[in-house]
Structure 1
Amino acid sequence: MLAYRHAFHAGNHADVLKHLVLVQVLRHFNLKEKGWRLVDTHAGAGGYSLEGGPAHKRDEFVQGIGRLWGRDDLPPAVADYVGLVRAFNADGRLAQYPGSPAFAHMLKRPQDELKLFELHPTDHKILASYLGGEPGVQVRMVDGFTALKGQLPPPTRRGLVLIDPPYEIKTDYARVLAAVREALERFADGTVIVWLPQLQLLEAAQLPQRLKSAASPAKKGWMHARLTVGAPDAKGFGMFGSSVFVINPPHTLTSALPDTLAWLAPALGTGPNARPLVEIGH
């Protein structure tokens, strides 16, 4: 598990979807003055260089944020997300990509809290150096799944849990499901975002359906938003899309995301298989 480094995948199509949704949820939270708490179970390093090192070895960002960087026809939600990536790059070049903690920190107000958990020692060290000293931010090198129970419910009763493990080991799928159930048991009206890879793997195919059942205690239902960008390789391997499962989604997200994903699918897709899927349930 500790071999995974998100730096190899920073800014790819999956990050675009995950971070676009995260930004829109936090924008909604910021419509009210009352503070919120974000619990990020797999926070990563917080930011990633795209000009050298791991990200440059695969250049996955070229088919993700790179496809959006120079366009002037972005839908509002996409323009908002890209604008924050631009704010993270002071000189106007796409040289750095912000991780989830960076997006949250850019949208955080003095009354808000970030609880960031990362087990990888190198990524934790980078994240702690970047945000560990910021007011209202806590960075800990512990298992985010285990730490979750101590963070809910937040004192303000306004909060978001972001769960996006690497899924490199199959037990992650079961732990995600258990974490969602525990989060809703402690905080039934809290918002939970689960990121899921789209793979030709039984556990990956089953998880959305299992999350729908686990979301039954949620007071505002759920939304499953998938962005398919291609197809698996000839042997059936490879991630050919991803999705986010949002429990208690804000109404601003459910109303805007279908049209946004309909635009994103051809923008980030690599062939005829590119397509969006949005399901909403209660």
Structure 2
Amino acid sequence: MASKYDHPEYREAVFHLICELDIPDRVFMPIRKLVGCSLGRIFWNDWRKQDAKDAEWMPTPGDHEDPEWHRIDGWPERGDGHVSRKWSRRADLWMQWHSVDAWHVCDWIITAVSDEHPWLANVGPDGYPKKLMKCGTLERLVHEATKGLRQRDIRDIVLGPEAESFILDLGAGHILVQLLSRAALRKEGLRMRHCIGQGGYDELLVDPDAGFFSVRDENGKPRATLDIRDGYIRQLRGPANAEPLDAVKDLVAAAIDTFGWQDWRDRPRSTRDDEDYGEEALAVLRDLPPARRRPG
């Protein structure tokens, strides 16, 4: 018998969110259930609240005098597939607005699973960790993620001569360094208190289309970390996954001009919903938690 909390579009919605998170299958598979009951649940609830206001159009969130409006109903007049189009569009928009926070939460979950944090075993009757299920908003999840990443031990890792490489003088005493080894990723993650060193990015070190870079100040302290894929800036993070200072972003602009990097949101997108995903991606539909149906 179907649960009263089931909704026919819920798994479709979470599937498209997970595709937008763009996490390699090897990294994602161990955390899929945790992502589903945290980010997936909040993503769904956010859109159900929006549907109660207007299920066809919504403005860009924030305090804007003349906001951009977005169509969010999937264009049902185009015929079959409008549900998939709707959730693909909504996942794309949600990640445009919340990608830094969403990836921060994923970093925390990846670290928790890798380090076997005790809270993972403290589950409710539904089998999901209470620490995740008590978070009713993305802001609360980010708060828990920031606390969790700060609790890791800081270790002094000695790097070999080929672990990092100077790339560019950014001015004002700052330089750009490329991270070339697992040890370099590990040390960057510990110093910056984010997840780049927890193993999820290791396999990309040999990918010629991926690159990881660190902005260092005059004392050699990292001020921001960049994740570049196919010439697009996927992530630009400050300490603890915070937004980098404006002064640091201004310095990074020199590297953007030099290497021609572009915004991740401007990358070419497939015209087919399923074109970019292999059969492994279908596994995200397993073990997802139920979602409450909006009353009425």
Q: Do the structures match in fold with TM over 0.5?
A: no
**TM-score, normalised by the number of residues in structure 1:** 0.26
In terms of fraction of residues, the more helix-rich structure is: 2
**TM-score, normalised by the number of residues in structure 2:** 0.25
> Larger Cα Rg: Structure 1 or Structure 2?
2
